[in-house]
Each structure stands twice: as C-alpha cells, then as structure tokens.
Amino acid sequence: MTTPLRLESLEALDAIDRHGSFAAAAAALYRVPSAISYTISQLENDLGVAVFDRSGHRAVLTPAGRLLLDEGRRILTATRELGAAARRVADNWEPELRIAVDGLIPPTDLWPAIAAFGAEHPAINVRLTEEVLGGTWEALIDDRVDLAVGVADPPAGAGVRRTAYADVAFAFCCAPHHPLAERTHAVSEDELRSHRAVVVADSARRLSPRDAGLLDGQPRLTVASMASKVAALEHGLGVGHVPRAWVAEALAAGRLVEPPLDRPREAAQTWLLWRSGAPGRALAWFIRRLGGDRDQPMPRASQMRS
Amino acid sequence: MTTPLRLESLEALDAIDRHGSFAAAAAALYRVPSAISYTISQLENDLGVAVFDRSGHRAVLTPAGRLLLDEGRRILTATRELGAAARRVADNWEPELRIAVDGLIPPTDLWPAIAAFGAEHPAINVRLTEEVLGGTWEALIDDRVDLAVGVADPPAGAGVRRTAYADVAFAFCCAPHHPLAERTHAVSEDELRSHRAVVVADSARRLSPRDAGLLDGQPRLTVASMASKVAALEHGLGVGHVPRAWVAEALAAGRLVEPPLDRPREAAQTWLLWRSGAPGRALAWFIRRLGGDRDQPMPRASQMRS
DNA sequence: ATACTCGTTCAAACTTTTCGAACGCCTGAA
DNA sequence: TTCAGGCGTTCGAAAAGTTTGAACGAGTAT
C-alpha cells in the first residue's frame, strides 16, 4: 500500500547519470554532495537493492541501478507531463479533442486546421474519426466526439449548438466505361432507376439509419465510406452522387465522367455541431477556426426541414 | 528541472477516492484527517490547480482532480512495478528473457515450459523468435537472444555453452498428387535431383548462410520458415525433408505422403545454446527445464563435425 | 433542536532533509 | 615517490517539512 520509491531519488539518479558524478549532480540540483549521497542511500534502503557499486573509486551503476535510471526517467517524464496536463485542464483546455468528420467532407479539408492547432498546442491530442450521415450526429450526442464537422441535415435536438460550415456541391458520376457515360441528353429519374447506385452506409450504431436521397427501387451497392464509394464508382460498379471535392481529381483525369441529369442534386448546406454547455478552449479554437463567429442555436424541431 | 508533484499526494488522492472521504482516507493511511488535508493542499499549491471543489459540504473532484487521479494511478502502479523490477534484477532475474527457436523445432514444443514459467514468474516477460539454421546461432552470439533452442550443428565458438536438446527425425514428404507420391521402390539421389526441392532460407543476417543438406543441381523453392515449407509441400510445390513433428498430423491426414528414399536422412542431434558467463535466473530456469542438467562446454573447433 | 460527520486551521511536537566539516580513497602530475 | 585535487561517505547540528490533536464552522440526518 505504501510507495517504496521517492521521486526525488529518481531525480537524483538522473542528475548523477547526466552530470557524471555525485558532486556534479549536487551542483546541478543546488545541493551539497552529502545530500545526494543521503538521497541515494535512502533509495537503496527503501528498495533493499544496491544502486551503485562503490567498490571502485567512482560509484558505478549496478544493473538494477541501470533499470531504475532508464525506467525512472519514464516515470519522471510522465509525472511532469501529468502536472502540466492538470494545469491545462484547470485552464479549460481538453487533454484530447475528438472530432468526427462527415463523409461529405474530404478529411484533408481539416488538415490545415489540425496542423495549425498542433503547432500552437503540441501537448493536446486530436482524435479524428470519419462518420457517415446519422453516425456523425450520433457520435456527437453519444459523447464519442466533441465536434462534428460537415453534417448536412442535423435533426432537431436540444443541447446542441451549430454554425455554418461548407456548402457541399455534388457531382453525379460514373466510370467512363459505364453505359451512362456516353449520354449527351439528360438522364431522367425513371431511367436512372435501372442503374445500380453506389451508396454509403449510415455509420449510426444506435439511431435508425437514414437514406441518402435514394430513388426507390433502384438497385444498390452499399459501401462503408465515401472513399470506398469513389473507388467503386471508378471501377464501374454503379453510379452515384459524390461531393465534388472528393472527385475533382478523378473527373479531371478522366477516371470518372458526369452524365447530364434531368434533376441535378442541389448543393447541401453543412454544419459544424457541438454540444452546448461551456466548451473547452480546444473546442472553441476549432469552432472559431472552422466556423468563424456565426454560431447560432439549433432551431426547434418544428422549424427543421425533414 | 524540479518535480512539481509528490507521489504521496497521488497516494492520498487515490485513498480519498477509494474510501470516499478525507476522513476515511486518513484512517486507511493511518493518519489523521488534517494530515490528508495538508497533503492535498500541498498538491494544489505545487500545481497551482484546484483538485477538490469545496463549495459544497463534501469535497468533490474537479476535472483536473479527476485527471490527476486517473493518470496518477498509472504512475503509482508504474512506480511500484519499477521498485519490484529493480529488486528482481538485483536478485539476478532478467526483466525479459529472449529465446530463439530453430525452425527444426515446432514452436509449440516450448509452450508448456513457457506456460509453466509464466505461472511461476508472471512479471518476467518472455520474447520468442523463430530463426532458421545459421540465424539461430547468430541471434545468440549477436546478443539478440539469451537462449537458442534446437540448433543442429552449432559452429565452434568461444563463449557459448550447450546441453543436448531433442533428436529431430526427418520425414521426406510430398503432396499426394506429386509425381513421386506413387513410388513404391526407393528414390535414388539422381532421380531426386530432377524434382524441385522446397528449402527454408537461412535467417542469418550477417554470417554466410548455410545449406541445409541439399543435393547439388536440384531446382529449389526457397521459403522463409518451416511453416511455409510445410504449406508449400502440401500444395505440391516440391519435395523436401521436414522434421517429423512438423508433419505428423499432415501425414496422418493424408495431406502429405512419404515416398521411400534410397538414402534416408539421419536424425539430427539438436542443442540448447546460451552465452557463457553467469546466467540470469530466468535463463537458468529454462536451461534446467528444457535441457536437464547435462550442460557441457562447447568442443574445440577441431572436434566439430563439419 | 440535536448529534453527528465533514474538512479546515493552528500551534506544538516530531521527523526528515540539508548543511558543513572532517575523513579516507583514488588519480594524475610533478 | 609525493602531493594536490577530486570523489563519495559519515557525522552532529541546523533547517525544513510533516503529523498531531484540539478547536471550529458548516452541512445532514434524526
């Protein structure tokens, strides 16, 4: 139940190794050599283990001493880091900020912000997850993430705040060797229904999954992520709407083409969402960086579009 | 340079959380409540952070306090474990024992010994690697492992001790659909030369690789491990000698067959090897368990069979 | 109301750590 | 070889830090 080791002993051990002698360590720690001697013999007493071999003239580490030095340094580092982390928490900085990016947004969109944050606050971890449709919202309200980026039609819900994020424009794509690729006049909804659609599965675990604007009766290929959807489209496995940012390069390179559509899909307004209540400073940093200042409360359910 | 945290503070924090109140923690630590109060306020002073919220009647952890408690417990555990590990090292127990098993020996051969060791000494790590031919020896003399198991023809070398390990009998195998499978009369060396041999690559990184008793001019398929060799033989990719223990099951199940051979390969004597010098107690444990007491010095080079 | 528990504060008793001086040992230069 | 200088230990005295017990105010359960 009692700690058989004092941090000061490890600190002395570290200083001795770092400076080469008891005397030099004493100087470095603003203490007198006998105090270091005392601290080390106290360590040896606590442990019942010889840390230095004093048979020669200069004290030299025993194998056990070596282990204490090496592992002890890890403990010292962890301890200092813990102190610093506690101070950050008290200062309202989260130890880790968890962000979910919706499949609508290419994760690369966030890299500049994350890089900038990392440069400013190297000690705060950022955990990025990718979610789809309802999964993004669910991750937020289940407290699995602190910030949701790029949610298209946030359901009504108390306790969530939001600010506008990007407008996402869609491209209707298929592979160049797909039957629809040669079309010069617009494709009707009826005609579309006979071609397999590639859709991304809702990543919600708990809430009922939502459809992503699908025409009924259309055959589907369901994949797990937007990246897989793009790959499936490129391989000619079907057709589908994809955020333009995901496929700009593939369209330019000719790996995908855009058949004209009778009723093109409208751009979607997407949002930045976070739970209301006092946000931590890391969260505030990201909200400000990604969303600017246009924070607004979630509308009541009656005001939501379905 | 100075540690802004005392282990006793973390211990007090842990006791408070564990027992529910300052008073109960004091009792558990055989101290008086005011001493606990003192220790905690010292922690708060060191850190400049409130650990408990005293606005209510009972003190309750702040978020920073929660972090200190959770992470502090890890530090306490690591510290205690370090003390114990140092004591073991001083007592000549290695913190980790590294064992190389030669490809001749199925790794499962060692599991009973490793399981027994783990039960006796749960705190000592065992690292098992698999090597082939010269690689096993090399791992030992390069100090990448402490013990080599199942080496067939150890080269002469100072500074290595040995004791006999298993005799390994070989089976000459091929797949049932291989041309040699139907043979009823013995296969000559000449004839053998026209069939592809599956051989295991020597895992030595530095020393010149050794051949594994191969007939010159025979086409080869070289694989990385005995397990791959068995798999290759089962798929009919060639023929080869395999330690009987590796293929007993495949032979019984008919996935491999044994064509009769003109000159069957003799069983090989294998050895347990370790560097001479005072062995740690974990090493001694394994030597005793795997090799019994028949430890004998390595013969001089002139006495070695090539 | 009352009795109880909680956590804090304070001065006094106590324990631990640091200091400085003295010592013995070894190394390297003269 | 001697000798100067550095190393690490020991010891008593001084300083610093911790623990104690009593007193207190504040909340809770009866």
A177-200 pLDDT per residue, tens: 999 988 888 898 888 888 999 999
Strand B147-151 with B160-168, pairing? unpaired
Structure tokens at B79: 């510290």
Distance A83 CA to D9 C1' (A): 35
The type of residue at B58 is: R
Indicate whether B1 belongs to any domain: no
Residues in chain A where the model's pLDDT stays below 70: 1-2, 210-216, 293-306
Q: Please report whether residue B285 resides in a domain.
A: yes
Specify if B2 maps to a domain. no
- Asked which of B90, B109, B139 is the last residue of a domain, the reply is B90
From chain B residues 79-118, the ones with a CB under 8 A of any chain A CB are 79-80, 82-83, 85-87, 89-90, 95
Residue A35, CB, less than 7 Å from strand C? yes
Q: What is the pLDDT of residues A11-56, one digit of tens each?
A: 999 999 999 999 999 999 999 999 999 999 999 988 989 999 988 7
Instruction: Establish if A102 belongs to a structural domain.
Output: yes
Residue A37, domain extent: 7-90
Local confidence band at B58 (pLDDT 50, 70, 90 cut-offs): confident
B11 CB near a chain A CB, below 8 Å?
A: yes
Q: What is the CATH number of the domain that holds A125?
A: 3.40.190.10
Contact B7 A5 (CB under 8 A): yes
Query: Does A90 sit within 8 Å of B82, measured CB to CB?
Result: no
Separation CA A271–CA A253 (nearest Å):
30
- Report if residue A25 sits inside a domain: yes
Q: Strand D nucleotides below 7 A of a protein CB?
A: 6-12, 18-23, 26-28
Q: Are B86 and B26 contained in the same domain?
A: yes
- Residues in chain A with CB shorter than 8 Å from the CB of B5 are 7, 79-80, 82-83
pLDDT at B190: 84
Residues B108, B130: one domain?
Answer: yes
Task: Give the chain B residue whose CA is nearest to the CA of A76.
Answer: B3
**Within this chain, do residues B231 and B146 fall inside the same structural domain, yes or no?**
no
* Whether residues B123 and B206 fall in one domain: no
Residue A54 confidence (pLDDT)? 86
Residue A217 has a pLDDT of 72
Residue B106: inside a domain: yes
What is the model's pLDDT at position A183? 83
Judge if the beta carbon of B62 is closer than 7 A to nucleic acid strand C: no
Q: How far is the CA of B53 from the C1' of C14 (A)?
A: 31
The C-alpha angle A30, A36, A41, rounded to 5 degrees, equals 165
Three-class secondary structure of residue B124 per DSSP = coil
To test the contact with chain B by mutation, choose from A7, A9, A44 the residue with the greatest count of B C-beta atoms within 10 A, namely: A7
Residue A194, pLDDT score: 86
Nearest CA in chain B to A93: B64
Q: Is residue B120 part of a domain?
A: yes
Q: Is B123 part of the contact surface with chain A (CB cutoff 8 Å)?
A: no
- Bridge partners of A297, per DSSP, are A161
pLDDT of amino acid B1: 53
A60 and A101 share one domain: no
Q: Are residues A275 and A162 in the same domain?
A: yes
- Rounded to 5 degrees, what angle do the CA atoms A58, A62, A66 make? 110
Contact B145, B275 (CB under 8 A): no
Residue A296 is predicted with a pLDDT of 53
**CATH code where residue A223 lies:** 3.40.190.290
Write the pLDDT tens digit of every residue in A74-90.
999 999 999 999 999 99
Last-in-domain residue among A36, A66, A90: A90
**In the prediction, which pLDDT does B213 show?**
53
Nearest to A212 by CA among A103, A109, A75: A103
Phi and psi, residue A55, nearest 5°: -70, -40
Smallest Cβ–Cβ distance between A89 and the set B6, B63, B85 belongs to B63
Cβ neighbours of residue B142 closer than 8 Å, sequence gap 6 or more: B206
Q: Output the domain CATH number for residue B46.
A: 1.10.10.10
Q: 3-class DSSP state for residue A154?
A: coil
Residue of A nearest to B53 (CA): A90
Per the prediction, chain B carries an average pLDDT of 88
Same domain, A144 and A182: no
pLDDT band at B260 (very low <50, low <70, confident <90, very high): very high
Any chain A CB within 8 A of the CB of B61?
Answer: no
Residue B68 predicted with pLDDT over 90: yes
Residue A75 with chain B: CB contacts under 8 Å: 75, 78-79, 82
| A249 and A185 housed in the same domain | yes
CA gap A161, A268 in Å, rounded: 19
By CA distance, what is A87's nearest residue in B? B49
**Any domain includes A1:** no
Final residue in a domain of this structure, among A43, A72, A90: A90
Say whether both A108 and A86 belong to one domain: no
Same domain, A253 and A273: no
A81 and A32 in a common domain: yes
Helices (H), chain B: 7-19, 22-28, 33-47, 63-90, 111-120, 134-141, 189-192, 226-234, 244-252, 281-291
A22 and A64 part of one domain: yes
User: How many distinct structural domains can be found in chain A?
Assistant: 3
Asked whether the CA dihedral A87, A88, A92, A98 is positive or negative, the reply is negative
Over residues B150-163, the pLDDT tens digits come to: 999 888 877 899 99
